[in-house]
Amino acid sequence: MSARLTDEQQALLELVASFAAEQVAPRAAADERAGRFPRDLFDQLGRLDLAGLPFPEADGGGGQPYGVYLRVVEELSRAFLAVGLGLSVHTLATWAIAEHASPEARAEVLPRMLSGEWLGAYSLSEPGSGSDAAALVTRARRDGDAYVIDGTKAWVTHGGVADVYVVMCRTGGPGPRGVSALIVPADTPGLTVGAPERKMGMAASPTAQLVFEGARVPARNLLGAEGEGFAIAMQALDGGRLGIAACAVGLAQAALDQAVAYAVQREQFGRPIAELQGVGFLLADMATGIEAARALYLEAAARRDAGEPYHRQAAMAKLFASDTAMRVAIDAVQVHGGYGYTTDYPVERYLREAKVLQIVEGTNQIQRLVISRDLTRRA
Ligand code: COS
């Protein structure tokens, strides 16, 4: 990839690498332990012009190819997954608004999202509909020049800390064609946020339910037309899944970095354990998986930037990168032996964090479904 970067893009990635190393990474362990959302780091992303990287400059975005944006997500995730994943989720919501909002809503919301003043979130799942996303039951009823929303959404990353939500609701009959997408500002009366879920990891990234009781949003907040919300949600997820792949590669890289550093300084049998083939081969497999996962997301991003279909490749990248992150994190703990199982080293946290990447934005079983359906549809 580096050979294909312009000088400007190289400089951007160097800026991000030093920001991540100096200001993001030192925060991760304590914020995770305290369950503290690092909002100030997102404000800094905005100040560094990193909140809208893959959007047109004419709109106030960074005008960068998707691959460059993903490298930024990877670098941030390597430092602190909650921040890299947070940027990815923000971008998922921003994309839906940039592409599908009415001119009035777009003018109101998009500049704030691209500048990082507003943090975005995306809300598709419900307590009763996760993988079967088209079964959602939260209702949005048209009432004059507004939609009135009733129902409960679930598993919302940034629930309670976002400024604006993209919410998929049912405006029509059952199935995907009865779904519409709405922009819901966080301060909408009738919207309340549940207590954050108590999770295995990612405590610094709040996940919560959104409860709608007669919540009214202006009709201009509809994305696209009524009934287009499911396709918008799925298209947004194609890009979002590449974000998750980049998060996974960043996390895996962090685990490998730790494993290598440990293996060259830890001595057993009179020499560094890195020189023991059983350990060295583990490191080699970890590094190979990471390179392959990175190549996969960059190739999918190149297809996206070229305007080619990349739905299948995005699912493959998400699947492979998150499975790789899981395996690499397990092996990084193994390289550390007993120390790896303690909270004195970050690898136990990486292991807990890797797990969620096999679940979010479509479980890896759903990715396989997407890939196999795409293969057979074209056969
Ligand atoms: N881009 C554009 N349109 C898409 C699309 C995409 N990537 N994927 C699906 N669509 C459209 C289809 O073309 C179809 O439109 P028509 O009715 O006009 O033909 C419609 O959406 C329904 O698609 P499909 O029939 O594939 O819907 P299913 O109910 O079978 O659901 C899966 C498909 C299972 C793939 C989908 O529900 C899914 O991705 N589930 C996981 C949800 C998820 O990732 N949740 C995490 C959210 S983040 S908290």
- Residue 125 Cβ contacting ligand 1 at under 6 Å: yes
Q: Which atom of ligand 1 is nearest to the CA of 238?
A: 7
Whole-prediction pTM value? 0.98
| DSSP H helical ranges for the chain | 7-19, 25-34, 39-47, 66-79, 81-100, 103-114, 229-265, 277-305, 311-336, 347-357, 364-378
Which residue's C-alpha comes closest to atom 12 of ligand 1? Answer: 231
Residue 335 one-letter amino acid: V
Among this protein's residues, is 361 annotated catalytic?
yes
CA of 305 to the centre of ligand 1 (A): 21
- Residue 366 Cβ contacting ligand 1 at under 6 Å: yes
- Residue 237 Cβ contacting ligand 1 at under 6 Å: yes
230, 369, 375: which to mutate for ligand 1, most atoms within 8 A of CB? 230
Which residue's C-alpha comes closest to atom 40 of ligand 1? Answer: 131
- CA-to-CA dists, residue 326 to 106, 218, 323, angstroms: 38, 43, 5
Report d(CA 207, CA 197) in Å as an integer.
6
Q: Tokens standing for 29?
A: 């362990």
Nearest alpha-carbon partner for 189 in 159, 154, 155, 218: 218
CA of 131 to the centre of ligand 1 (A): 10
Q: Which atom of ligand 1 is nearest to the CA of 176?
A: 22
Q: Could you list the pLDDT tens digit for every one of the 379 residues in the chain? A: 445 799 999 999 999 999 999 999 999 999 999 999 999 999 999 999 999 999 999 999 999 999 999 999 999 999 999 999 999 999 999 999 999 999 999 999 999 999 999 999 999 999 999 999 999 999 999 999 999 999 999 999 999 999 999 999 999 999 999 999 999 999 999 999 999 999 999 999 999 999 999 999 999 999 999 999 999 999 999 999 999 999 999 999 999 999 999 999 999 999 999 999 999 999 999 999 999 999 999 999 999 999 999 999 999 999 999 999 999 999 999 999 999 999 999 999 999 999 999 999 999 999 999 999 999 996 6
CA of 177 to the centre of ligand 1 (A): 10
Q: Which atom of ligand 1 is nearest to the CA of 175?
A: 29
Tokens 């060259």 sit at which residue? 264
Write the DSSP string, 160-177. TT-SEEEEEEE-SSSSGG
CA of 132 to the centre of ligand 1 (A): 9
Per-residue pLDDT at 258: 98
Per-residue pLDDT at 4: 79
